[in-house]
Amino acid sequence: MKKIKDKAMKQANYDMFIKPIIQGIVGVIIFFIVFLFVELFLSKSPRIVLLINHGIYLPKPETVTTIYHYTFREGEDFDIWTYSEKNFYKLISKKYFYKIDENNIETVRKIILDYYDDLDEKEKSLFDQNVDINGLMNINNYYFYKLSKDDHQIFAIVIADYSTKNVYMFNHVR
């Protein structure tokens, strides 16, 4: 009789305490998976490229203007993201953004010129129509640069233009 009573108590404890906790954890996991699916795969945001290739997640911009986008496995992307002034300041305060200064401007210039030199004529024309390459390398701007650990032909350079509050995302995949 005692075994039956102990078994019934264990079942009651499981039903009252353990089962709801497990259901809650499963619910949170399902919610998280659905959220990630919607955010990453249905939003069609260029932020996905940064997240997948470089592990960096940037806040959602107010608008995204795609200047050009590679269509198959390799090429270059160029997007202009517009942020509100408040969100722009939050963005540049992230630990992976650095202010362009006299100590790093030549490095930033080399990265941007390497990206630009690899563009085809059509992409160079679109690039030149949408941004002044020298304006990107302004001392007051901020930048983020990430080279893929696995493949040194994959990199992203993101320039946050302090004067316009625009963010220029350049992604290179070769």
At residue 75, the pLDDT reads: 67
pTM: 0.69
At residue 161, the pLDDT reads: 93
At residue 57, the pLDDT reads: 77
Q: Encoding tokens for residue 51? A: 């997240």
Domain boundaries, the chain: 1-42, 47-173
Rg of the chain (C-alpha set) = 24
- CA nearest 144: which of 91, 103, 102? 91
| Residues forming beta bridges with residue 142, ordered by sequence position | 99, 160
Tens of each residue's pLDDT in the chain, 174 residues:
666 666 666 776 667 777 778 788 888 888 777 776 665 554 455 666 667 666 777 888 888 888 887 765 566 778 899 999 998 998 888 888 999 999 999 999 999 998 899 888 999 999 999 999 888 888 989 998 877 666 556 778 889 999 889 999 887 776
How far, in Å, are 25, 26, 30, 94, 118 from residue 36 at the CA level? Answer: 17, 15, 10, 21, 33
DSSP assignment string, 36-82: HHIIIIIS--THHHHHHHH---PPPPSEEEEEE---BSBEEEEEEEE
Q: Which helix (H) or strand (E) holds 168?
A: strand 166-173
What is the Cα–Cα distance from 158 to 145, expressed in whole angstroms? 6
* 34: helix, strand or coil: helix
What is the Cα–Cα distance from 158 to 160, expressed in whole angstroms? 7
What is the Cα–Cα distance from 9 to 13, expressed in whole angstroms? 6
Q: Encoding tokens for residue 166? A: 């625009």
